[in-house]
Amino acid sequence: MAVFESSDQLNETLKILFSRIAKDKPDSAAAVSKSRLYLRLRTTSPATEVNFNGRQNPLQITYGPSTVRPDIELELPAEMLHDILLGITPLKKVVASGKFKVRGPVWKAFVLEDIFHTGQSIYPDILRQQGLDGRLP
């Protein structure tokens, strides 16, 4: 069974996650702002797009297609993102494995590491709140 049944369900989960990170742990989001990078995170199965605009302070996160050309673009299956956010699969391992597509300098992807690491403590609660606790290991 897929982790997320639809793009809308995945988007809602990510919106809650990233808004809580920005509110509760602003230092994690500040790392992207300090980088001055525009990053795009795309998922497949289901498809969604999250844009992190570090060119703005505070960090702006938008969902859906954007016409802004990103400094770096990451594309991975939603299930792999789910595993990263649960801490099952470390971001460094995913990058080293080449199991996802990167457009731009791969080392810049690590600016998201703080956000993902912070998200690991919040993500399981969000899944429970949305009735998706059956997706927890």
Give the domain ranges of the chain: 7-130
Could you please state the CATH topology (level 3) that the domain comprising 7-130 is classified under. Nonspecific Lipid-transfer Protein; Chain A (3.30.1050)
pLDDT at 1: 60
Per the listing, tokens 């230092």 go with 27
Under DSSP, is residue 104 helix (H, G, I), strand (E, B) or coil? coil
On average, the pLDDT of the chain sits at 89
Percent of the chain with pLDDT over 70: 99
∠76-132-24 over CA atoms, to 5°?
A: 75
pLDDT at 80: 92
Distances (CA, A) of 18 to 11, 77, 103, 104: 10, 18, 22, 23
113 Cβ contact list (under 8 Å, min separation 6): 91, 92
Lowest mean pLDDT among 4-8, 27-31, 91-95, 130-134: 91-95
Please confirm whether the linkage preceding 124 is cis (ω < 30° from 0). Answer: no
Mean pLDDT along residues 54-66: 91
Is the pLDDT score of 126 beyond 70? yes
- pTM, two decimal places: 0.89
Cβ 60 vs Cβ 94: under 8 Å: no
97 exposed, middle or buried (CB, 10 Å; 0-12, 13-18, 19+)? exposed
Mean pLDDT along residues 111-117: 86
